[in-house]
Amino acid sequence: MNPNWKEVARTCLEAAESGAMTFPEIVAALMEGGFDGYAVDLRRAVAAYYLPHGEAVELAASPTPEPVAKAFDVAVVREAIREAQTFAPGYSYKGFCAKVAAAGCAGYVVSFPGRRVLYYGRSAETHTEFFPGAD
């Protein structure tokens, strides 16, 4: 594994958690770094960044303040996504993670080739969100 891949992934995770980069900026940086997607597991507080040839970089992420709720509330997940997309006042990535976890989102998978994010609940219910302009 190229040591630079781990640094790119770590920089993007830290930038998301600190608010230093937006989702579009993170996607661009990861794509430029050779990644084709990533997954965030909110139950385990882990982010995995995938390379097209099968390797991955796994990093510890900040845990959500409460465990993932049992019921998956798609309306609340969509609301949190819209807040992120519009940079709503007070938005933060950590706040986003807390909100979607409280809405039963156990994690999400981002596909750069598919230009979408798949959010999933503990019961394997899903919501697919296409990148703006990709639908």
- Please give the chain's pLDDT, 135 residues, in tens: 566 999 999 999 999 999 999 989 999 999 999 999 999 999 999 999 999 999 999 999 999 999 999 999 999 999 999 999 998 999 999 999 999 999 999 999 999 999 999 999 999 999 999 998 755
H or E stretch covering 11: helix 3-18
Give the domain ranges of the chain. Answer: 3-130
Compute how many other C-beta atoms are within 10 angstroms of the C-beta atom of residue 111.
16
Pick the CATH number of 3-130 from 3.30.590.10, 3.40.120.10, 3.30.1810.10, 3.30.360.10: 3.30.1810.10
Q: ∠ CA 34-7-30 to the nearest 5 degrees? A: 30
User: Residue 133 corresponds to which amino acid?
Assistant: G
pTM to 2 decimal places: 0.93
Pairwise CA distance, residues 111 & 130, whole Å = 10
As beta bridge partners, residue 49 has 38, 57
pLDDT at residue 134 in the model: 59
pLDDT at residue 2 in the model: 61
pLDDT at residue 44 in the model: 97
Q: Is 38 left (phi over 0), alpha (psi -120 to 50) or beta?
A: beta
Pairwise CA distance, residues 78 & 50, whole Å = 25
pLDDT at residue 132 in the model: 82
